[in-house]
């Protein structure tokens, strides 16, 4: 049974989400404030997190950022304010999806299922392949979803890891930003091709010795990117 964490301070909304998810067979915990929510997300093995943006204590952005440092589970952010969506994108906090309140609980259930299925596919395909990619000082353990640069582990968000792994699995192939966006963000997801640029920048900061002269992920001007073998 998949475990869902809801961090939501509006009791009526939290109960509605919980009821629908439980009816669909999920095990659900609800926490009403930021600190307890963050602690629960970090201390337990939830399969997915539904995170309100405006919370007492620590806000949803900060929770998302901190959880993403150490967890790969899908995170859906919810907010009553449309402006928050731009902020979720702009901050690059690592959310997988967002929903604007009010939304239908069945839509939420559908998205939770879709994200869990997608995450399972990612994890199980990595397991089947059981591959470790090693290219000039970079080691990507697809199974454990860990990355080492010259022996030192670097922490990647889910999408950064997926993007790096995809590029490194197809070395010397030039991909357009559109292709990369479709490959990595393949469902109704936040962001657009600018998201790809942001993620490439973050990956380079972690793997490149000099980000102004990338040795691994090259920019092919006017086309896209390629991982140099
Ligand atoms: Ca709230």
* Euclidean distance between CA atoms 31 and 38, whole angstroms: 9
Q: Is the pLDDT at 79 greater than 60, yes or no?
A: yes
- Give 148: exposed, middle or buried? Use CB within 10 Å, 0-12, 13-18, 19+: middle
Over the stretch 110-152, which tens digit does the pLDDT of each residue have?
A: 999 999 999 888 877 765 666 788 888 898 998 889 999 988 8
Mean pLDDT (the chain, rounded) = 90
Overall average pLDDT of the 185-214 stretch: 86
Confidence of residue 90 (pLDDT cuts 50, 70, 90): low
CA of 105 to the centre of ligand 1 (A): 17
* Euclidean distance between CA atoms 24 and 74, whole angstroms: 18
CA of 222 to the centre of ligand 1 (A): 42
CA of 79 to the centre of ligand 1 (A): 7
**Tokens matching residue 185:** 């963000």
- Give 46: exposed, middle or buried? Use CB within 10 Å, 0-12, 13-18, 19+: buried
Question: Who has greater pLDDT, 92 or 28?
Answer: 28
CA of 207 to the centre of ligand 1 (A): 37
CA of 52 to the centre of ligand 1 (A): 6
The sheet that has 48-52: what strands, in order across it? 27-31, 3-7, 48-52, 75-79, 97-100
Confidence of residue 182 (pLDDT cuts 50, 70, 90): confident
CA of 2 to the centre of ligand 1 (A): 24
Q: Is the pLDDT at 84 greater than 80, yes or no?
A: yes
Residue 182 sits at φ, ψ, to 5 deg, of: -65, -35
Over the stretch 8-45, which tens digit does the pLDDT of each residue have?
A: 999 999 999 999 999 999 999 999 999 999 999 999 98
CA of 8 to the centre of ligand 1 (A): 6
State the pLDDT at residue 187. Answer: 62
CA of 32 to the centre of ligand 1 (A): 9
**Tokens matching residue 184:** 């990595």
CA of 83 to the centre of ligand 1 (A): 14
Over the stretch 47-60, which tens digit does the pLDDT of each residue have?
A: 999 999 999 999 99
Q: CB of 185 within 8 A of CB of 192? A: no
State the pLDDT at residue 137. Answer: 86
Tell me the angle at which helices 158-169 and 177-184 cross, rounded to the nearest 10 degrees: 120
CA of 29 to the centre of ligand 1 (A): 16
CA of 39 to the centre of ligand 1 (A): 18
Q: Is the pLDDT at 197 greater than 60, yes or no?
A: yes
């Amino acid at each position: 049974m998949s475990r869902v964490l809801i961090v939501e301070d509006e009791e009526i909304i939290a109960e509605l989400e919980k009821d629908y998810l439980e009816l669909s067979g999920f095990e659900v915990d609800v926490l009403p404030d930021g600190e307890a929510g963050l602690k629960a997300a970090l201390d337990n093995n939830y399969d997915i997190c539904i995170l309100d943006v405006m919370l007492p204590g620590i806000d949803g952005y900060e929770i998302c950022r901190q959880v993403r440092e150490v967890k790969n589970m899908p995170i859906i952010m919810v907010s009553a304010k449309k402006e928050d969506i731009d902020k979720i994108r702009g901050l690059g906090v690592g959310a997988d999806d967002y929903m604007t309140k009010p939304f239908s609980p069945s839509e939420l259930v559908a998205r939770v299922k879709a994200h869990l299925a997608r995450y399972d596919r990612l994890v199980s395909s990595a397991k089947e392949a059981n591959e470790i990619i090693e290219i000039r000082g970079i080691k990507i353990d697809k199974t454990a979803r860990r990355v080492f640069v010259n022996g030192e582990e670097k922490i990647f968000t889910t999408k950064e890891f997926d993007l790096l792994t995809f590029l490194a699995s197809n070395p010397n192939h030039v991909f357009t930003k559109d292709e990369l966006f479709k490959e990595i963000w393949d469902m109704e997801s936040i962001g657009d091709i600018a998201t790809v640029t942001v993620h490439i920048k973050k990956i380079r900061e972690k793997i490149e010795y000099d980000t102004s002269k990338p040795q691994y992920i090259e920019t092919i001007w006017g086309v896209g990117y390629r991982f140099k073998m």
